[in-house]
Amino acid sequence: MKLAFSTLGVPGMPVAEVVRLAAEHGYRGVELRAHPEEPVHPGLSSLERADVVEAFKTAGVEILTVAGYAQVAAEGDDEAVSAELAGLVKLARDLGARYVRVFPGGGDQDPADADATAARRLGAAAPAAADMGVSILLETHDTHRAGADVARVVGTVGHPRIGAIWDVLHTWLAGEAPEASNAVLAPHLGYVQVKDVASADDLTPLPLGAGVLPLAACLDGLDPETWVCWEYEKRWHPGAAELPGLLGAGRDHLLRLGAPKQ
């Protein structure tokens, strides 16, 4: 198991500090939230991108993902979404990140229409992503919470550079058993996002193992080389505990869960 954490847990933190936290606490990678309010986003110049690369390279920490906010199933013209995807893919290429994260965002559409829109846009973006050595991953989220929902879209695209992120909170909220999520997502899986919460009615982030999510069942059976990323949603819950003080214990908890069964 290779561990990463998301900068959603440390909103606005300078790149150098993010890298230091990862290196000091034994995380091999970081999922970079690519929003204009963050230090890393598609508006960075070439020199700024090079500085980010150097900071991570010096510390031996991988930039796992450019976590974008493109909604590939959203209603409307394809042009704006395609341009957003292209910018995220180029940023990932320049940073040496292997993945770009996108959301479904199908809204109130008929599910079949949302699926078709997402598949069309992802399919159109796939060749350029492949040329740049980047994969685009659709996260289990919002209108496509279950693994079966995301697998349906990704399977329709049928391109090796289009895959899935398994956000374990959303598949749990969808009522999908971890074994079922794993089964449908495994052929398309980029990596797994883990977190913990008190209940379906209280999504304030908790330290890993302090909540109700079935993390052990989600991690059971994963390939040992699978990336597991802790997405601690501090950005949306400012009253939650600060992530840096939790990183060491979180790493240890994940390693215990992922240890080979005797």
Domain CATH for 7:
3.20.20.150
pLDDT reading at 259 higher than 70: no
pLDDT of residue 258: 83
Report residue 221's pLDDT band, with 50, 70 and 90 as the boundaries. Answer: confident
Mean pLDDT, range 174-193, rounded to an integer: 98
Closest CA to 243 of 234, 255, 251: 234
Average pLDDT score over the chain: 97
Mean pLDDT, range 69-79, rounded to an integer: 97
Give strand pairing partners of 165: 139, 191
pLDDT of residue 183: 97
Report residue 261's pLDDT band, with 50, 70 and 90 as the boundaries. Answer: low
Q: Which domain holds residue 205?
A: 2-258
Share of the chain above pLDDT 90, in %: 97
Give strand pairing partners of 227: 2, 191
Tens digit of pLDDT for each residue in 189-206?
999 999 999 999 999 999
Domain count, the chain: 1
Mean pLDDT, range 12-41, rounded to an integer: 97
pLDDT of residue 260: 58
Tens digit of pLDDT for each residue in 242-251?
999 999 999 9
Report the phi/psi class of residue 209: left, alpha or beta, with left for phi > 0 and alpha for psi in -120 to 50. left
pLDDT reading at 262 higher than 50: no
